[in-house]
Structure 1
Amino acid sequence: MHLFFTPDLNSETYTLNEDESKHSIRVLRLSQGDTINLVDGKGGLYTAVITDANPKKCALQIVNHVPNFGKRPFYVHIAVAPTKNLDRMEWFVEKAVEIGIDEISFLCCDHSERKNLNTERLQKIAISAMKQSIKAYLPKLNELQPFASFVNQCDASATFIAHLEDHNRKSLVQATVSQKNCILIGPEGDFSGREIEMAYKQGIKPVTLGPSRLRTETAALVACHTANLLHEIQVALP
């Protein structure tokens, strides 16, 4: 399936931008009359026919539209402190999108080694992963924000904090998940005691992701996969 990202698609005809036109005509060697698929990142999956195989402005005719393609009855949100090595965060974004994620927030914590973040490249990685895994929904990527700001405005009743302190923590597998959940993942040095107490005061519940000490990006991906699995099990139960 040849899949192209077209976020501004709003009519029965469309012209691919120059990069996508070149890729479709020069690289994939598609020609007039060939069929391709488009996704708008908002759940729309489209089938289109090439009407003008111009390598700079490939023209398309939309012939079919499937709304809410692959829509899931649950919502997974991971809030994570970016790693010092940005490659590791790029890996997490790519794999989380492939598995299934609806929103990613980036947190600046007391122990964070990365205090700034350009989400532009992460957005491109998310788009590529969406296309590769044949999804029609592009996850929302939020800009880096202070931990305190995030916990003060989140829905605490549906939010969990995964930390390493020896507190009374449930496994995320045992947690009662709701239709929309958020899991907080700390930086390499874990959340500070101050941040953990702040989360508790908001009503955020502590969880563990298992007996192993995980890297930040691994923990975030484990949380993403576990949340998906718990929801899928709930959907499958009679």
Structure 2
Amino acid sequence: MIPNSRAFNLKHQRLWLLPQHALYWQKKKTLLVADPHIGKTSHFRKNGIAVPDDVAESNLDNLDTIIELTDPEHLVILGDLFHSDINKEWKQFIHWRKGYSQLEVSLVIGNHDILETKNYHQGIINVFKKLSINPFLFVHDINALTDQDKNKYIISGHIHPAVQLKGRGRQAMKLPCFYFGQQYGILPAFGGFTGTHVIEPQEKDDIFIIADSNILPARQLNS
């Protein structure tokens, strides 16, 4: 068992939800992350916005941690691997990638993945618009799906889902979450310098909140 993780059964598959904002598919030995947004800090700094320079390194450190914990054969990134044009953070990622030459890496293209295909090939990265591994279809944005795509259970990123918890008085906080509805699921953003979007779950949805390095069912907090 992976420390502080939570098992979740979906479509007869055992999935492990990790507090590092990642999902491990046990049967396929596949690690999934969404929205790393590598390069975002350098992009903001280039435009005169002060952002700590160590955010990019912490993203790669987190990848190191969960790869060591799960020992996957395949890393699937659900879009927005890189946030900007080529900068030093992309070079850091390429250097990191060389340390995991035996790991298959696949990228489902997101709206921020604007690099030329040759750059992804330099990082030995498979590139897909959509990636189907039964019983799931992996995409970046559920809003870009066709009716035919909806025949499978969809797992995506893009939205950076979060829930808002309200306390006494006007106390409130937003916490990132894993969302699993009846037809699709959404992973939390992996990147350490990303915003969140508060979702409004339905009664039958499964929501798991990331709080203090723990995975907690939203129903448990609301009971």
TM tier relative to shorter chain: 0.3 to 0.5
Greater C-alpha radius of gyration:
1
Point out the structure with the larger helix share: 1
Point out the structure with the larger strand share: 2
